[in-house]
Structure 1
Amino acid sequence: MIRRRVIVSGRVQGVFFRSATVSAAEQRGVAGWVRNLPDGTVEAVFEGPPEAVGSMVTWVGHGPDGAAVTGVDVREEIPDGESGFQVRG
């Protein structure tokens, strides 16, 4: 199990980014959460098998139709036993 925290910048709010992230994570069996931040970015935590988490990090690099991702900041963290995937905030 690994855990990654990402901050996604660009046109990522108001384009169903959070709900699409939930669907993509559930399809891959990844736990964690996603939320909008006040500065217009989206923050997400992905926890699960390395290949599945890597797939999610790649996915947020383009996001859903309508998004225009300009950057993804990825940080490694210690897994803390997330279960399920949800929208926060």
Structure 2
Amino acid sequence: MATQRVYVSGKVQGVGYRDYMVRKAREHGVVGWVRNTRDGRVEMLASGEDDALAAFVEASRGGPMLCRVDNVEAHPDSEKPAKGFTKRFTA
């Protein structure tokens, strides 16, 4: 299993983006969490098999109809999330 920390910028807060990514995580069998950041981005920590994680990161480039993704940054991370994929409070 691999883990990546993903930052997504654009119009990604207040448009249902976190709920969208929770659904995508479940579709791809990825565990972790998603939260808004105070600087307007969305941050995610995701773990899964390499193919599933790659598909999840690719899905982060999309989103619900009202969102606009301008940039996705994904970096390997050593933190291991708990089971499931959850929304967290803003950090």
Provide TM-score, normalisation by structure 1. Answer: 0.93
Is the CA contact (8 Å cut-off) linking 2:33 and 2:81 kept in structure 1? no
Instruction: Name the counterpart of 2:63.
Output: 63
> What 5-or-longer segments of structure 2 have no aligned partner?
none
* Deviation digits for residues 40-83 of structure 1 (CA, Å, limit 9, x no counterpart): 10000110101111011101112222110000111101252531
* Deviation digits for residues 6-34 of structure 1 (CA, Å, limit 9, x no counterpart): 11000000110001110110111100000
Runs of 4+ in 1 over 4 A off after TM superposition: none
Instruction: Name the counterpart of 2:26.
Output: 26
Instruction: Describe the SS at the equivalent of 1:44.
Output: strand
Is the CA contact (8 Å cut-off) linking 2:2 and 2:48 kept in structure 1? yes
Is the CA contact (8 Å cut-off) linking 2:45 and 2:81 kept in structure 1? no
Instruction: Name the counterpart of 2:12.
Output: 12
Give, in whole Å, the separation in 1 of the partners of 2:81 and 2:21. 19
Aligned length: 89
Q: Percent identity, aligned pairs only?
A: 38
Provide TM-score, normalisation by structure 2. Answer: 0.91
Give, in whole Å, the separation in 2 of the partners of 1:43 and 1:69. 13
